[in-house]
Each structure stands twice: as C-alpha cells, then as structure tokens.
Amino acid sequence: MCPYMTDYKAIDFFCGGGGMTCGLRQAGINVIAGVDFDPQCKETYETNNPTSKFIEANIKELPTNYFEKEFSIEKDDDKLILIACSPCQYYSIINTTREKSKESKDLLMDFKRFVAYYNPGYLSVENVPGIVTNKESILPDFLNFLRERKYVVQYKVVDMSYYGIPQSRKRFSLIASRIDENINLPNPDEKQTLLEDFIGVKNGFQPIKAGHKDKTDFNHTVSGLNEICTKRLEKTPRNGGSRLSWKDDKKLQLKCFEGKDSSFKDTFGRMWWKKPAPTITTKFFSISNGRFAHPEEDRAISLREGATLQTFPKDYVFKTTSIGATAKLIGNAVPPEYARRIGEIIVNSQNR
C-alpha cells in the first residue's frame, strides 16, 4: 500500500478479486468501488481493499448515474479514473466455444456508457491481444468514441514480463486522457522478470509435496497428484523438462499424445528458474493444463506461488472455499504490479 493517498479516485469495472484495485491503491489512488457480477469475488475484494466498496452488479443493468447517487461522483472530474478489465473469452486465442462467450464480446461498449456520462480525466482498459486482431472486435468503435470526445489514446499489446511480472503474459493495454496530451503507457524494463526472483526457498516458499494443504492465510496449498502423474513428474527433468522425456514409456504416455510430440508441448512441463513463468491461467494448479509444474519439486505450483507470480502481495488473502475458486480469482486478475505502474503514470502525469 502506498504510504500516502493522492486526490485521484477510481472505479474498477470487472474488478474480480481486486488485482487492478490493489495496484492502483499501491500507487496512491483511492479506488472508490469495484464492480463485478460474481458474488464470490466480494469477500476477497473487500478484505484486501477495505476502503473500496464491492458492487455486485451486471454492468448491462447498472444505472449510469449509480456512482453519482451512491458515491457523489461528479461529471467532468479531472481526477476521476475509470478502469475496464472486462472478461474476454470471445476474443481469446484459446479455442473456446464462441456462443458461450458471446456476452463478453460487447462489454467494452457497456463501459463506454459510463465514460460518456462521467467524462473522466483518465481511463484504462486491459484485455486479451485478440481484441486488436479479431475482425468482429468492437475496439475500433470504442477508439472512435474516445477520439470524438477529445481523448488522447495510447494502446499496444504488452509482454508483462518486461513490466515487473515474472510470466510471459501478453495483454492489450490502453490508457487515455482528456487533460494530458502526452499520456502514454509505462515504459518496459530492459530485462525480463524471472521466475527465480519470486518463488523458491530463498523467496519464502518451503518445499512441499503434492496435495499439501496450508490452512493459514499464506495458502501455500497445492493440488494432489495420482500415482501415475507422480511418476510422470519424477521422470520429467528439473528446470524446464517436458513430457517428451517419457513419451516412449508405454506405462506413462497418454494415448492422446501418441504421435503428437509437437502438440501441447507444455502440458505436464516444468517451469524454468531463469525464464518467466508461462501465463498464469485459471487452471495453473493443474499440471495437465500447461507448464505449471514446479521447476524442482514433483508437484504443480501452489496457490500462493501462482498469486506471487501474478505479483499479489504475500499477505493478500483469498477468501474462497476451493482450490479452483482461488485459482480463478488469481488467474483472471490484472497483475497488481502492472496496475501500479499504470496508476503511477496517471498520478505523475501532471508533474511531467
């Protein structure tokens, strides 16, 4: 948490468990409220961000003047920041069923309604890279709307491993201002951030076995493994090994991978110490869903390790009832470190 609070205020739409809110607060921004339709986010969000109110609502049904009435938010406030990190399955490169994710397609335009009403000094948007390249994307319409309202807009796809986040996480990032004509996104670091700087014994993570349950708030909990998956990991070389090391073992090889050495190469793979982690998804607790095995120990990474790779503070408490629910909050979050850098760009924009 920033030792002081500035006079900037923000509303965090699609806030989830509070990754963006956490980072903005670290930059000294008063996040008035977070909005999300998932009630399972509420306790985690408000526990860790006690001065921010969780609003359980569907943005499509939320009255535009809600924040004006409930929080006395004024229109045309130069110090107001609106944030949109909307669910983005429709534009994801992952081959999900489009019909199921259609509702996420136009959420940015629902956010536009609040931008038009409040006319904030700043806004920021985070999404999947596919929102730039998908032919059905509503991004061009949103950009035209901002420019018509005289916002200066900067956006690009960023690799967050160059922004203090130890994972290869590529995301669309946009920042806009109607009062700062020189607004821009944070500058990247010269070097990537590496896994070894965040997890491992030297970073406070004691060795544990698959199935370990941590009942403290630290939540160094890890999913269990059956006997055959344990044997697969035991045969997977430390520090970056892959399933190809046991592809010729008939007892260990999966039929779905036979003759497909070039497909799903990261599945059952180990992370590398001296590289960024892969993108932390909502399934990072499972070694069958990607390169989510610990570099040395025969297990998937723990919930706290996943949260740390997302740059959540180690005292950030996840108030959920299952491994899957916790991993969902963590994997869907905007990494707080990137949010902090966005926040500092805004806070310092008038001082350049």
**Span 233-288, pLDDT tens digits:** 999 999 999 999 999 999 999 888 888 888 888 999 999 999 999 999 999 999 99
The residue among 83 and 101 whose pLDDT is bigger is 83
- By the 10 Å C-beta count (0-12 exposed, 13-18 middle, 19+ buried), 215 is classed as exposed
In degrees and rounded to multiples of 5, residue 34 shows phi and psi of -120, 140
Tell me the CA end-to-end span of the chain in Å, nearest whole number: 24
| Rounded Cα gap, residues 2 and 29, in angstroms | 9
**Encoding tokens for residue 288?**
């069958």
Residue 88 designated active-site: yes
Please check the confidence at residue 316 and state whether its pLDDT lies above 90: yes
Q: What is the mean pLDDT of the chain?
A: 93
pTM: 0.94
| Structure-token pair, residue 142 | 């949103």
Residue 164, sorted as left (phi over 0), alpha (psi -120 to 50) or beta, turns out to be: left
Contact 36, 58 (CB under 8 A): no
What is the C-alpha separation between 306 and 338, in angstroms, rounded? 16
* Tally of CB atoms within 10 A around 209: 12
CA 159/CA 167 separation, integer angstroms = 9
User: Can you tell me the mean pLDDT for 100-109?
Assistant: 69
Residues in contact with 158: Cβ distance below 8 Å, sequence separation at least 6, in sequence order: 170, 171, 173, 185, 188, 338
CA dihedral 137, 142, 143, 146 (to 10 degrees): 180
Domain ranges of the chain: 9-188+334-351
Write out the two tokens for 131.
């929102």
What is the C-alpha to C-alpha distance for residues 287 and 270, in angstroms, rounded to an integer? 9
When pLDDT is averaged across residues 22-47 and rounded to a whole number, the result is 97
Instruction: With CA atoms as reference, report the closest residue to 11 among 105, 97, 77.
Output: 77
Residue 85 pLDDT > 70: yes
Question: Using CA atoms, how far apart are residues 165 and 8, in angstroms rounded to an integer?
Answer: 25
Report the distance separating Cα 260 and Cα 190, nearest Å: 37
Catalytic residue among 22, 41, 85, 88, which? 88
Give residue 123's Cα distance to chain centre: 18
- 9-188+334-351 domain in CATH 3.30.70.360? no
Please give the Cα distance from 79 to 206 (Å, whole number). 44
Task: Give strand pairing partners of 170.
Answer: 159
Using the predicted structure, report yes or no on whether residue 24 has a pLDDT greater than 80: yes
pLDDT at position 89 is 56
pLDDT value of position 91: 45
Distance CA 6, CA 30 (A): 7
Share of the chain above pLDDT 90, in %: 86
Question: How many other β-carbons are positioned within 10 Å of the β-carbon of residue 228?
Answer: 10
Determine the pLDDT at residue 92.
53
Task: Taking residues 189-212, report their average pLDDT.
Answer: 98
pLDDT band at 203 (very low <50, low <70, confident <90, very high): very high
What does the alpha-carbon distance between residue 10 and residue 244 come to, in Å, rounded to a whole number? Answer: 48
Statement: residue 37 has pLDDT above 80 = yes
Provide the b/e sequence for 314-338 (b: ≥16 CB within 10 Å).
eebebbbeebebbbbbbbbbbbbbb
**Pick from 179, 106, 127, 174: which is nearest to 149 by CA?**
179
What's the DSSP call for residue 203? G
Where does the pLDDT of residue 20 fall: very low under 50, low under 70, confident under 90, or very high at 90 and above? very high
Ranked by mean pLDDT, the top range of 96-110, 177-191, 253-267 is 177-191
pLDDT at residue 332 above 50? yes
